[in-house]
Every structure is written in C-alpha cells, then in structure tokens.
Amino acid sequence: MPEGDAVFRFARKIRDALQDQVVRAAHAQGPGAVPRAERLIGATCTAVTTHGKNLVITFDNGLALRGHLRMYGTWELYKPGEPWRRHPNQARLVLHTDETVLVNFSAPVIELHESRALDTYRPLTYLGPDLLDDAFDPGESLRRFRDPLRAGATIGDAIMDQEIMAGVGNIWKHETLFHARVNPWLRVRELPDDELGAIIAKARELLRGAAGLAHDAHGRPSMYVYARAGQPCRRCYSRIRSDVQGRDIRRTAWCPSCQPVREAQELVPRSHARSGGRPRRGAS
C-alpha cells in the first residue's frame, strides 16, 4: 500500500514531468471516473503536492486533481507511444503533454476540484501534521494523540490515524513501533509523553529517509518486522510474531523480545500466551 513516502516519491516524479507543461489531452474512465476531465485540456500544471497519502496536481485554470491510491492504485509516466506496463482497462485517468503521458491506474479516489475549494475540503483539512512537511509540528501530533477519545486506542491503530499525523501506513506502523520498542497492543493512555514523542520522531525519521529527504537516505531500509512473521528478529533472533489487530483486521507483526508485553499492560495479543514473550504477572 502506498504510504506517505511512496506518494511523495510519485509526486516528485510527476512534478519533474508535468510542471509548467500544457495538458494536450485528458481522458477518464472506469468506476468513479472524473467527470468532464476534458476541462484540463489546455491547462498548464503549476504544482504537484502531497498531503499525507493524498496527491494534488494543480493547474493554472483554477482546477486541481486530488488522488488517493489506497491499497492498489498507482501513477505511472510514459513517453508518448510507449507501451503501458498495465492493462488499459485499469487506467482511471490519462493526461497527455507534449513529452509525457501520465496514467493513474486503479486509484479508487481521483477527483477534479476547484483549487480554492480544497482549502476547506474535509478529506484534506482533517489531516494531522504531515510527517514529510518541513514545518511538521510534533507537539501538535502529541496533542492529538492525547485527545481523550483516543486514550483507549492501541498504538498500533492510532499511529495510522491520519488525523493525528499524516503519512504512516501499515509498513511504517510496523517499523516505527519496532524501533521505538513499543508493543503494538499498548493503549495510547499507557504511553507517557516521552514515549509518544519518540514514536512521532521515529516515524518522521523513517518516512523522511524513505522519501529521500534525509541526508543519508538510501531508499527504503531493510524491514525488521513488516512482512517478517515467523522469521528471526534481525536484532535478537526471537521469532517475529503476528496477530490480527484493528478495525480493518490486518495482521500486525512484532518481536516479542524487543517489543515485549509490559507488566500490567491492559490488552495483549491473543497469541501472547503461546508467543514465547514474557508472561504476564501471575501467569505460570
């Protein structure tokens, strides 16, 4: 699933190809197709920006495209006449400039708006501070973590809540909590401010590195727990565990030694009893 860093890298490529270029042809198709995409013909692209996992392409005629890729969507760039790497039936939007063909494949969300309407458009305005924004405000994200309505959420769910901080998806949820040595089933109220602050800082560090914004960035680092259930931990060689977590019933993986269940932890993964992790107080 494209996360903030991946959308950021898509945006950089699209900006390089489209900025200051004139749209010569525009075509939308498929479920949820942009109505009247031909309104973009003749417009010049003025900006390509990201807002968490949203990508916004702005044009000089007052229109802007918003795309959200969710699980399966992608953006690809081609030269005119170059064969596509995906089936044309999957194309949702195609924009031609003189030198580039931009194709959005399979995005469930691709919309055309008046640019100024985006300033008050709920899918963008509800977002918390953007982890990839130079002006990212960790104190604001901490304040949002501390919203009483979120106190009972597990950190494994809350860290992906785009209203707290925008950009983290399933991959960086896993890796951030591993590096912060935090068990994903801890509730937000069980984590002191300094630990939440460390989680915020680590998420930002990992996303910035993967987006190519860090000084020593080399793309995505090797994963420690994401998609590694059953394999040995790269740090301590314990076997990585996984269990179902959250509203969307995805599996969360963690190292039972590096991210142990804590004494008095309110909620433990169902597999904890057989996980080989530290038993709860009183357990035999």
Nearer to Zn ion, 92 or 241 (CB): 241
Nearer to Zn ion, 97 or 238 (CB): 238
Task: Write down the least CB distance from residue 156 to Zn ion, Å.
Answer: 17
Task: Write down the least CB distance from residue 261 to Zn ion, Å.
Answer: 13
**What is the number of H-type helices and E-type strands within the chain?**
6, 10
User: Alpha-carbon torsion 20, 21, 27, 30, what sign?
Assistant: negative
The contact set with Zn ion (CB under 5 A) reads 233, 235-236, 238, 255, 257-258
Nearer to Zn ion, 3 or 175 (CB): 175
Task: Write down the least CB distance from residue 181 to Zn ion, Å.
Answer: 9
Decide if 271 contacts 252 (C-beta within 8 A): no
Task: Write down the least CB distance from residue 233 to Zn ion, Å.
Answer: 3
Q: How far is CA 250 from CA 68, 83, 218, in A?
A: 20, 35, 28
**CA–CA gap between residue 110 and residue 26 (Å, rounded):** 13
Element (H, E) at 95: strand 91-96
Nearer to Zn ion, 64 or 155 (CB): 155
Nearer to Zn ion, 51 or 241 (CB): 241
Task: Write down the least CB distance from residue 167 to Zn ion, Å.
Answer: 25
| Residue whose C-beta lies closest to Zn ion | 233
**CA–CA gap between residue 150 and residue 153 (Å, rounded):** 5
